[in-house]
Amino acid sequence: MCSAGGNNVQKKSEYKKGGDRGELRGYDVHQVRYNQRLRAPLVLSFVSINLISLVVCDLPEGRHGQEESVKVLATIFKNGNELKRKIYSVQSTTELLEKTSELGLVLDRILKFNTDFQEFTDVESSVQISNLDRFQVHFSEAPHLQTVPREVCQTQPTQVPDLQAGLRPLLEMKVPEIFDELQTKGIVTEKTRLKLVKVCISDLVEKHGFYPSTTEKVVLAKNIITIFPSLKVQIDGRGEGFEHFFDPASRSGFLEMRLRNIRRKLEEGQRRYSRHKRSRDVNEMSSSVQDEGDSSDVREFINLMKRLRPSAENISSIKSAMQKTFTWRRSWISKHSPTMEEILQEYPRFLDIPTLAGSTIASLYNASQDPAQSTQPQLVCIGHLRGGSQQYVILGKSDKIAIPLDESLACAVDKFFKLYWVCNLAYPALLSSVFSFFEYIYDLPMSTNRRAKVQNFERLLRAIYAPQNIYCVHVDKTAEASVLSAIRAITSCLPNTFIVSQAVDVVYSAWPRVQADLNCMADLYKATTKWKYFINLCGQDFPLKTNLEIVRMLRSLNGGNSLESEKLPAEKMWRVTNVHQIVDGQIQGTGKAKEPPPFNLPILSGSAYFVVNRGFIRSVLEDKRILALMEWAKETYSPDEFLWATIQRIPGVPGSTRPSRKYDMSDINAIARLVKWQGHEGSQESLEAVYPKCQGSHVRSICVYGVGDLQWMLEHHHLFANKFDTDTDPIAVYCLEKYLRKKALSQLH
């Protein structure tokens, strides 16, 4: 097991994942100097970030790093037909090509199994290799090989003619709207971009099949930006501007994703390469190791484990092979129910290496490492029953509860897990991996994008971080223990970032949403007296301005506040005139009329997001009028959408404005947050529309921005925008992040 707060968790400034896109760079030297020079008077609070654990665990790797050669599984093809499949001990792909090449054959392409996409993808002949990688090497006959040097045949790319002359007429006929949009608006909508990619890929597949070469895809991407120069995108001045359509280095982009989607729907006879199932699809795999025609590579790994002695130098290879065969093993065991003897005969290393099962699970499931809470129940063995079996009891320390279990240890642990899950308790540290595995076996509801959500939080914190600010992070009280481990691992690297002292169970449209804000306000107010402004954020926000621009806009407020505060619409009056309560985790009306607000305060409509000064926070925490108003608001519906707007119009509150309608401020005029409400969208010609139609999707009538919304967002004065979702459109956040970083660096000079 590894500790989330220990040495196995890498510092934020040290952690990198897959190049620039997922990189956590830590503190940029120039950025730190620039921030220290500004001394921005700013406090930011993250409210209710429901994330799941990202814990980096280091497993022992034996002496694999000291070996000169690694073992790879290579399948050799000639003119598309498989010749052989064999494990090779090589030091590089160059050596692999030397061992697999035959006289009279020329290298056509080399593919490597991509674990992210679960399929074979083209790679260069000099790609980096690691132990137990899988390759497919394709050769073709070369009639004139005698007159052409072998090296040239292997390294020269296939020459593809320029496609621009044929591509433009095709697009003019099938995607005429792209020319109109670029001429009239200067931008391409998301819908048109998708159609452009679809038409281009259809033409490419018609000419070159479902598996075009890298060169052919690069030529297509280049010709697209040649025809449409405004679609050229260069991030940080790197690349040629076509990489967002197809990046030959990472095998990604709009064109590649469209090709993959097409190939996933191909029939078995149409596929050039075997399709490999993901771990979550174990029930769809073949039930027999011997009967499956595509099982040769799995069989090779199983035979490799049988041949390798359980010595120190082979442990790394054995563990890696066990991970490669995990899906197959689970399917075989679940469908055939083999005996223990049959399992150990097939996988004898379970006997030789006692830690193999535990390390395999630890590598597949991120374990929470927080110490077990004293109030958690525990499974205790209290003695032996007749016949040699043991007596187990579940003890609840805080409630003095004892549940006797007259069953085996396996059944006791199973019931122990179900008690935790039903009661929604944080899993104990030492059993977190086991309980997560039970979730998988029982197919219980669990987060399917844990890692992505943690990365979203890291990306947001990185975008707004400055050493002179203070950051309070609220994590939902009902979140798993692994949530707290992930957030603590991140915040522990930053001296000015902390987790709220008292978390709450946030309920949508109910008072706990406000209480989460209040708890962070109290912690920040006590932490230091040096900050001047408070801004609250959620996990789906992202900045539209650099730190320098945010500071300048805050100074322009001259000590005032900026938040939505308008007359409460008649259709929302029911929210404050009826009593509401939380029932079974949801807010519900009781049918009872609610008393008027204290001090006859007029209730105004607003937003959950705001930019307020320190004096405003002091009034919220100490002013008797506001304290009475908050107590009254606890039984209303969605109090976060009227409470702050009402406080902003109370006389005497620092930075407030008068109650007169003349001082109303809409969300469009306030700088706190840019939100697109579905009911206010429309075409540019419409006089009633507040903003153009959403280029992404909608959640609860709010636009989840797409990449087509970026230009519109950047034209506004708001500090932040909501909502973003990398599962819906990762390109939107990625481009915005790169834009802000480049702009921040340019402001240094």
Positions annotated as catalytic residues are 641
Whole-number Å distance between alpha carbons of 401 and 425: 15
Which residues share a beta bridge with 703? 698
For the stretch 439-448, what's the b/e string if a residue is b when 16 or more beta carbons lie within 10 angstroms of its beta carbon? Answer: eeeeeeeebe
- Contact yes or no for 2/430 (Cβ under 8 A): no
Terminal Cα distance for the chain, rounded: 48
Query: Sign of dihedral through CA atoms 363, 367, 371, 377?
Result: negative
Q: Is residue 409 within a helix (H) or strand (E), and if so which, with residue range?
A: helix 409-422
- Contact yes or no for 735/724 (Cβ under 8 A): no
Whole-number Å distance between alpha carbons of 39 and 666: 30
DSSP 8-state assignment for residue 336: H
Q: Where are the beta strands (DSSP E) in 628-741?
A: 673-674, 681-682, 691-692, 697-699, 702-704, 720-722
- Contact yes or no for 450/52 (Cβ under 8 A): yes
∠ CA 136-299-305, nearest 5°, is 105
Dihedral angle, C-alpha 715, 720, 721, 722, nearest 10 °: -170
For the stretch 415-430, what's the b/e string if a residue is b when 16 or more beta carbons lie within 10 angstroms of its beta carbon? Answer: ebbeebbeeebbbbbe
Whole-number Å distance between alpha carbons of 446 and 417: 14
C-alpha dist (Å) from residue 518 to 85, 282, 439, 609, 671: 63, 46, 34, 13, 21
* Structure tokens, 135: 């390759």
Picking from 320, 357, 345, the residue whose alpha carbon sits closest to that of residue 87 is 320
| DSSP-assigned letters across all residues of 98-164 | HHH--TTEEEEEEEEEETTTTEEEEE-TT----TT-EEEEEEEE-TTGGGS-HHHHHHSPPP----H
Fill in the amino acid letter for 162. Answer: D
- Rounded to 5 degrees, φ, ψ at 689 are -70, 135
- Token pair 């009633």 in the structure block, residue: 688
